[in-house]
Amino acid sequence: MSKKLYVPNRILAQQKKDINPTPSAISKSFGKTDDPNKNEEDPSKLDKSVIDRLPQPTGYRLLVIPYYPKEKTKGGIYIPDATRERESFATVVAYVVKMGPDAYQDTHKFPNGAYCSEKEWVLMGRYAGNRFKVEGLELRLINDDNIIAKILDPTDISYV
């Protein structure tokens, strides 16, 4: 009887990660880059100094951070970055960061008061607002009447 353990080369190579590396097209799809997307973080957990450095909306506008879907679903399925980018562009969910001084001040237009306040998740028009980035964080400036509803959790909303 032999006391040697024979292991196929492909098994040894997998341990060294020399054989069958992840193809570059697949690894690029899942966002394993050096530049992580800042919109993946929970906006309610941003530092106060970061929020202070964001632009202050003027007039009747709101500054919101659009919801960026997670990399992996609850069922464990990975969503490619291209799909996540497309969904974030057309997202209807956002987190209200700042409000302009005239937002919801018109009592004729908003007789029951404001539709939302700062630090709330809201539903808005699909392509509403002006998009821009500040230090890699995507933001939108939207009008106060673009708010459709308030929500508790952005993951409750599915896209159609």
Fold of 39-156: 10 Kd Chaperonin, Protein Cpn10; Chain O (2.30.33)
Residue 102 has pLDDT above 70, yes or no: yes
Going from N- to C-terminal start, the domains of the chain cover 39-156
Identify the three-state secondary structure at position 7: coil
CA distances from 36 to 40, 85, 102, 155 (A): 8, 13, 35, 20
Arithmetic mean of pLDDT over the chain = 80
| pLDDT of res. 33 | 52
Interacting residues of 110 by C-beta distance below 8 A, sequence separation 6+: 104, 144
Q: How does DSSP assign 39-64, residue by residue?
A: GGS-GGG--HHHHHHSPPP-TTEEEE
How much is the pLDDT for 122?
94
pLDDT tier, 80 (very low <50, low <70, confident <90, very high otherwise): confident
Report whether pLDDT(70) > 70: yes
pLDDT tens readout for residues 13-39: 666 655 556 656 555 555 555 556 677
CA separation for the pair 22, 27 (Å, rounded)? 6
Residue 63: the pLDDT is 95
For residue 62, how many other CB atoms are within 10 A of its CB? 28
* CA distance linking residue 54 with residue 26, whole number of Å: 34
- pLDDT, tens only, 116-130: 999 999 999 888 889
